[in-house]
Chain A
Amino acid sequence: MFTRPDNWAELTWQEKRERRLEKWINPEGLKFDSPEAEAGYKARATRLAKASKMEIPDRVPCAVPTGWYPAKNAGVPLKAVMYDPELMKKVWLKFVDEYDSDTFDGTLFFQAPVNDILQAKTMKWPGHGLADDSHSYQYVEGEYMKADEYDLFLRDPLDFQLRYYLPRTMGIFEPFADVPTFSSYQGLPQRLMAMCLDPRFVKVFKAIQEAAGYMPGMMEADAATTRAANARGFPVFRGGLAVAPFDVFADNLRGTHGIVMDMYRQPDKIHQAMEFVLPQLLSGAIAMADGAGCPVVMMPLHKGDDTFMSDAQFEEFYWPTFKRLLLGMIDEGLIPFPVAEGAYNRRLEVIADMPRSGVVWMFDQTNMARAKQTVGKVSCIAGNVPVSIAYTGTAAEMTAYCKRLIETCAPGGGYILSGGSTFDMARPENLRAMMDTVKKYGVYK
């Protein structure tokens, strides 16, 4: 937990970030497995911090994009791991013991039993909409908010959540579609009582109770795994998660089809709605980063990529509120870490409009040489080792790709070697080749 010093308001954003990074590099209350583990942790965290700030570290840091790979590594089906927190813990720590990286990626925990009970309709996972041997889960996009429901959402978001969104996205919440609004306090206690009389709601509450039973075990396994990885010397380069205001609607509520229609038919509503969620995304990100004691806020980006929208649309719809969110985070001493899924080649000049060293950009399929020459002048950049090489290439191909990336992006600092996406099904020798290459070619002299 990060606590602000008394003079917080007087600090510059760089000073705030420095306070936060210090706490992350020197975590209180963490008992390291050995003095070597402690030294390793601090060296890795310092390396990542320096790269993020566009300073020159001892060498290029490397974040091996673990994803669900630990399950493959242990020869265990993902499905088994998703239902067994103890097994998950064992499998993940086995990976930590067998592979070197500058980060621990976390467990990417998906609570399959909980989603089973809630009858989640927005997710598919092994054995539930996907084949038993699938190696990932899948988000199911849909028009979970109708075109004419922006006002409902804006006037009373929780009421919208309870009576529209949840019944559409989780089977167990379907009865909520038929209750009157919760926006009037008059008679609310009595109405909650009346809901409990209805057998359909009794089922909801019992399901939540049952699902809740799984939570402590899962959360504890997740926390214990992370703690153990930290104690072995591997820092987590992520203190929170946030998304771009546009993606809140494009991904979660309106879906691709819906949001595209809205950009033409009711652009003002999208703007109004983005304005509404912006401050809440910001305060949520700050709270998460405070709680985790790490200033890095990972931001998976979706609908702003080169192919989803035109340049003009990016500049009208995607970038302005997203930019303000980034600036708000920077101002609090956080390190926004947007992950630009897809390609961002046409966005590079636009996103370069940021305070120097404020943001760390992770790229997937973007041209890294151009990135280095544009946004790379003001922001640390990271990525983009292709999944295809990790899954199907040889170690030599991996080495060559990483070497070229380092040559292109490392000069002057401000680069983190990583994947374009997660390496769930990678060949083990390719993960090792990544680290070997960065140690061999990524050292700053």
Chain B
Amino acid sequence: MNDTATKPWAEMTWREKRDSRFQRWLNPPDVKFDSPEAERLYKERVTRFIKAIKCEEPDRVPVMLPHGNYPARHAGINFHTVMYDYARAKAAWLKYMDDFGDMDTFNGPMFVPSGKISEAMASKITVLPGLGLPEDSAMNQVIEGEYMKADEYDAYMMDPTDYNLRVTLPRTVGLFESFRKLPPLRFMFADMWVGALADPDIQKTFRTLLDLKDEYDRHQTANREIATIVLARGYPSLGGGGIMAGAPFDTFADMLRGTRGIVMDMYRQPQKLHQAMAFQLELVKAQIKNFPMTASPICMMPLHKGDDTFMSDAQFAEFYWPTLRAVFLAMIEEGLVPMPFAEGKYTRRLKQIADTPPSGVVWYFDQTDMAQAKKVLGGICCIVGNVPSSVVMTAPVEQVRENCRQLIEDCAPGGGYILAGGASIDKGNMANLHAMMDAAREYGVYK
């Protein structure tokens, strides 16, 4: 062990903290590898990512394949089946892993909820294949809405947990409709709790939850089994390690106020919005502080409303960036690796987002101009992306290859680059995914 391991956490620099988290990722204590070969490959792959993240040159450009839920299709099943038949889902993912062969990272189904539990939950904000969407739909969809009213910022800030439980939940999830009847719970002592929870409708909600226990257990177990096997084979995962957080602006824009609501707020009550984001930032910082050692230090952060088309440069500078940057800094300080996923386009944002500590942030881009990104962020942030889904799904193999070659030429020099898709695919073909891996091996080797 290096000497950072013996130094007290509070006295470490952020790089030392990050190194000890990287060590944990590199030497997972709870993984039993299938073979010494699997272990060797695992470490080789993780080292590749770590070097890229630190803006250094690894042996070659690492690749995050955009296979998304494609393994289901590869096995001849769809999202709907994955929701309901956990055994077939597991078989599909493992089959894909074996059929594909060498890759740098892999994991089980992402964001596929259990069908039976989803039925019982009756969410109003998520529609799923067979539950609000045609059964053969390729994925889930979020229904945005004004789930928090324009005049409710203060109620939210006074007691966010209370607001979540008594207001947001009943508005967004059918099963929790009954929580609407709860009184404010913050000063309840002893017996009063029982009085509040004795309501027959609330009791019914808890009974339903308890009845779903076995189903939930089956679903969790299946997912855990996939994860265990994938790791044992030597494929590291980038997700699920760090804290799942977004931009404070998106907390309100996506989840609570919706696009229309948040745009109105930027004009009608900008101070309220600022106050709420500052408040949200404190909540997130409290979660980040002393974050435990986890499988990997990477914090996946999907970003939405800050892209080039949702708001102006001035609005981005005023509303979006300051608190998002503060979240990054808090994560970095704790040795975590923020990995924002800039959905849409961030070409106009590049200059502003360069203002973070060198090698602290990993930017994953969707439709951003990557050559431009490399020019602005090179040496400051590792960048990730961005073969378009349209190319991966429909183009001939040669074009995928060429696209990757160009990206590597633009982004790889000097290190700090991970080849990836702009988004994930649900349909497509294995040959194009192989083409991406092949391109990295052929063009992405550092000499």
Contact = CB atoms under 8 A, between A and B. Distances in A.
B141 to A, nearest CB: 17
A212 B198 contact: yes
A158 B185 contact: yes
Interface stretch (A185-193, A360-368, A385-393, A437-445): A185-193
Given A162-B161, A202-B210, A197 B194 contact: no
A139 B319 CA distance: 49
Interface in A207-231: 208-209, 211-212, 214-216, 219
Contacts of A248: 187
Interface string B226-253: 0000000000000000001110000000
A99 interface: no
A73 interface: no
Interface stretch (A62-70, A118-126, A313-321, A335-343): A118-126
B203 interface: yes
B: interface residue count bin: 35 or more
B241 to A, nearest CB: 15
Interface string A261-297: 0000000000000000100100010000000000000
Q: What does DSSP make chain B's interface, helix, strand, loop or mixed?
A: helix
A196 interface: yes
Contacts of A212: 194-195, 197-198, 203
B175 interface: yes
A208 B212 CA distance: 19
A392 B307 CA distance: 80
A219 B192 CA distance: 12
A157 interface: yes
Q: What does DSSP make chain A's interface, helix, strand, loop or mixed?
A: helix
Contact of B283 (A156, A194, A211): A156
Interface in A322-336: none
Given A181-B287, A182-B165, A189-B169, A196 B197 contact: no
Contact of A186 (B176, B194, B244, B279): B244
Contact of B286 (A115, A155, A188): A155
B365 to A, nearest CB: 23
A114 B191 contact: yes
Contact of A196 (B213, B244, B256): B213
Interface residues of A, number: 49
Contacts of B175: 189
B159 A185 contact: no
Nearest to B162: A158
A180 B190 CA distance: 22
Interface string B178-195: 000000111111110111
Given A192-B209, A196-B216, A157 B190 contact: no
B217 interface: yes
Contact of B164 (A123, A185, A194, A277): A185
Contact of A183 (B121, B176, B184, B283): B283
- Residue from the set B191, B193, B213, B284 with the largest chain A CB neighbour count within 10 Å: B191
A158 B165 contact: yes
Interface string A144-165: 0000000010011111011000
B283 A193 contact: no
Nearest to A112: B191
B283 A196 contact: no
8 contacts: A122-B190, A156-B159, A156-B283, A157-B161, A181-B286, A193-B212, A197-B216, A215-B194
Given A197-B220, A209-B203, A280-B187, 12 more contacts: A114-B191, A122-B190, A123-B190, A156-B283, A161-B187, A181-B287, A184-B284, A185-B168, A192-B176, A192-B209, A194-B220, A212-B203
